[in-house]
Amino acid sequence: MSTLHFTDANFKKEVLESDLPVLVDFWATWCGPCKKVAPFIDELAKEYAGKMKIGKVDVDANSKVTTQFGVMSIPTIVFFKKGKVMGQLVGAVSKLDLKRKIEENL
């Protein structure tokens, strides 16, 4: 399974109503630290397929959900379970940090 793309239009169904825990990476194409984290997100999406949904929200194209969850700086990675925010990481984090946080939220 590859990294999913969440939008203002599908966020409620794909993230908030998901049976699986969800990792959402709020990012933008022009963001340097976002590009650093992107390969980790893609690798973890494959590794945790079937256990956790992993996807991205382009903040420039999806201002509604970006504002709704108070994302002020990017990358911001938010963990959801049963429609609730369970935690978040802000900034360029390591793959190990991401993995630890995923394990906490499974």
CATH number of the domain enclosing 36: 3.40.30.10
Q: Is 19 in the active site? A: no
Q: Which of these, 66, 64, 55, lies nearest to 25 by C-alpha position?
A: 55
In angstroms, the first-to-last Cα distance of the chain is: 17
- The answer to whether residue 14 is domain-embedded is yes
- The answer to whether residue 106 is domain-embedded is no
Average pLDDT (71-90) is 96
Q: Which of these, 62, 57, 48, 49, lies nearest to 88 by C-alpha position?
A: 57
Q: Which is catalytic among the residues 22, 24, 34, 54?
A: 34
Sequence-distant (6+) residues with CB within 8 A of 61 are 7
User: Based on C-alpha coordinates, what's the Rg of the chain?
Assistant: 12
- The answer to whether residue 44 is domain-embedded is yes
Full residue range of the structural domain in which residue 30 is found:
4-98
* pLDDT at site 2: 84
**How would residue 89 be classed by pLDDT, with cut points 50, 70 and 90?**
very high
Tell me how many domains the chain contains: 1
- The answer to whether residue 105 is domain-embedded is no
- The answer to whether residue 85 is domain-embedded is yes
Q: Is 82 in the active site? A: no
Is there a contact between 61 and 30 (Cβ–Cβ < 8 Å)?
Answer: no
Q: Which is catalytic among the residues 22, 24, 31, 77?
A: 31
- The answer to whether residue 43 is domain-embedded is yes
- The answer to whether residue 103 is domain-embedded is no
Tell whether the model's pLDDT for residue 57 goes beyond 90.
yes
- The answer to whether residue 73 is domain-embedded is yes
Sequence-distant (6+) residues with CB within 8 A of 80 are 15, 16, 18, 21, 22, 23, 24, 86
